[in-house]
Amino acid sequence: MTLTHSYKLIAPFYDAAVARLSAPARRASLANIPSPAGLDILIDGVGTGLDLPLLPAAHRYVGTDLVAAMLRRARARCAGLDCRLLQADSLALPFAANSFDVVVLHLIVAVVPRPELALAEAARVARPGARLLVLDKFLRTGSSAPLRRLLSPLAGRLATRLDVVFEEVLAQVPALVVKSDRPVLASGWFRSIVLEKRAR
């Protein structure tokens, strides 16, 4: 079973499982999109598009995801937005460097098998000074979390890794600095992190 297969199976049930629980954290994360109109914004791993109805119409959006069944559900949520969806891998984004003012990374960094590569790709396509909005589950540095570490190899093949330490990922992407980092769900296992790409 690959992530592509499992998200194809998960797609019809995803919203029922995730939408309500995640809505307040999404809203709070997306409030970090700067207000001047006309920004280029990437929704990386857009999934079924749960972020889309929460976005201001003032910007241009591109949503990417590896799985067509997830993107099909996102399409209806593009209504009223300047929004383009395309099938693409977060580990090899099909965009030139310095293309986006904001990159939204909700529940994608800990999902992919190589979080550091997903973050490096997001940093590559972000413009200097751009914001990257991360919302995901991360272990704290030094946390033993034996059950999560035990289950992570299986969970990582089916839906998401459980053993990702954000600080270890960030250390591999020196172009990014942390602007804020807040616990949002599950006693701080889920965090809302705002990153900024360093100006050259």
Ligand X SMILES: C[S@@+](CC[C@H](N)C(=O)[O-])C[C@H]1O[C@@H](n2cnc3c(N)ncnc32)[C@H](O)[C@@H]1O
Binding site for ligand X (CB under 6 A): 3, 7, 18, 45-47, 50, 65-67, 70, 89-91, 106-108, 111-112
Helices 3-30 and 68-76: angle between axes, nearest 10 degrees: 40
- Closer CB to ligand X, 37 or 186, in the complex: 186
Shortest Cβ 200–ligand X spacing (Å): 27
Residue type, 143: S
Q: Residue with the closest Cβ to ligand X?
A: 47
- Pseudo-torsion of CA 87, 91, 93, 97, nearest 10°? 170
Shortest Cβ 180–ligand X spacing (Å): 19
- For residue 199, the SS3 value is coil
- Closer CB to ligand X, 56 or 129, in the complex: 56
- Closer CB to ligand X, 107 or 170, in the complex: 107
- Closer CB to ligand X, 23 or 175, in the complex: 23
Q: In 3-state terms, the chain is what percent helix, strand and coil (to 5)?
A: 35, 30, 35
**String of DSSP letters for 154-182:** HHHHHT--S--BHHHHHTT-TTEEEEEEE
- Closer CB to ligand X, 18 or 28, in the complex: 18
- Closer CB to ligand X, 6 or 98, in the complex: 6
Shortest Cβ 199–ligand X spacing (Å): 28
Shortest Cβ 44–ligand X spacing (Å): 7
User: Any bridge partners for residue 133, and if so which?
Assistant: 104, 194
- For residue 147, the SS3 value is helix
Q: What span, in angstroms and rounded, lies between the C-alpha atoms of 32 and 35?
A: 9
Shortest Cβ 104–ligand X spacing (Å): 8
Shortest Cβ 164–ligand X spacing (Å): 13
The strands making up 82-87's β-sheet, listed across from edge to edge, are 82-87, 60-65, 40-44, 100-106, 126-137, 190-197, 176-185
